[in-house]
Amino acid sequence: MIELGESSTSSFLDNLKVGVVIPAAGSGQRMEGKPKQFLQLAGQPVLKHVLNLFLSYSWVKDLVVALPQKQFEEQPSWLNQDSKVQWVVGGATRRDSVWSAIQALSEDLDLVIVHDGARPLTSKKTIFDCVKVASEGLGAVAGTRVVDTLKATDKNNQVLKTLDRSDVWRAQTPQVFPYDVLFGAYHKAIQNDWIAGDDSIIVERAGGQVKMVECSLLNFKITFPPDLDLAEAVLACSKS
């Protein structure tokens, strides 16, 4: 995929104030109970790769990371190296972690990017594409179209039917929203205890319009142990 350089988009971004929220307070149950955001990937922690995706941009004004209690109390030095970065203690769910971070953002932002602390391979193009859609007043969700045949089964894996996969997407991050839309939707979600695995579910339920933005298959989240090896291989290939 061709990378879009910052120069070709800077005029549009120059007028925006963008905040970034990084939920990184999970415990990595599918990663043998290791908080995967602190595991090493190509010589630095996964979460450091994620911070690096955003810190070089002048239009990113504010970046808040939600951390587990332990790392909040003993912050690693690499977290502390940029004055834009703040940290908060995360909550029991991703939703609670994101809400803690949103509340710590400055209030004069136009847009907020929410990006998983375990998704280190996101491209510049995907970030810019999502920011562009959100700057038009919509929610923007990076994702990929489903390419495999989808089967619905019973509890014994017996196929009940084949599902229609056209217009079905896998939703990932970044997810970008106008600040007021995201804040208002999360406020409602917390007041009413809506259960939600990601941010777009909350914005949709609050009545917001959300659009999918197609991204690369390399935008995967580190979830299971082999994902770390895969990410290493991708980074090694992109260097050579």
Q: Which residues bind Mg ion (CB under 5 A)?
A: 26
- How far apart CA 116 and CA 28 sit, in angstroms, is 13
Mask: binding to ligand CTP, 73-92, rule CB under 6 A, as x and -? -----------------xxx
Residue nearest to ligand CTP (CB): 26
Q: Which one of residues 21, 87, 94, 182 is an interface residue with ligand CTP (CB under 6 A)?
A: 94
* Interface with ligand CTP, residue 23, by CB under 6 A: yes
Residue 93 or 103 having the CB closest to ligand CTP = 93
- Cβ neighbours of residue 231 closer than 8 Å, sequence gap 6 or more: 41, 42, 46, 120, 121, 220, 222
Residue 26 or 143 having the CB closest to Mg ion = 26
Distance of CA 159 to the CA centre of its chain: 33
Stretch that binds ligand CTP, among 5-13, 27-35, 71-79, 201-209 (CB under 6 A): 27-35
In the complex, the smallest distance separating the C-beta of residue 221 from ligand CTP, rounded to whole angstroms, is 5
- How far apart CA 188 and CA 167 sit, in angstroms, is 29
Of 56, 97, 43, 22, nearest in space to 231 by CA: 43
- Per CB under 6 A, contacts with ligand CTP among 108-137 are 116-118
Q: Which residue bears the tokens 């969700």?
A: 141
Kindly report the number of other CB atoms within 10 A of residue 165's CB atom.
13
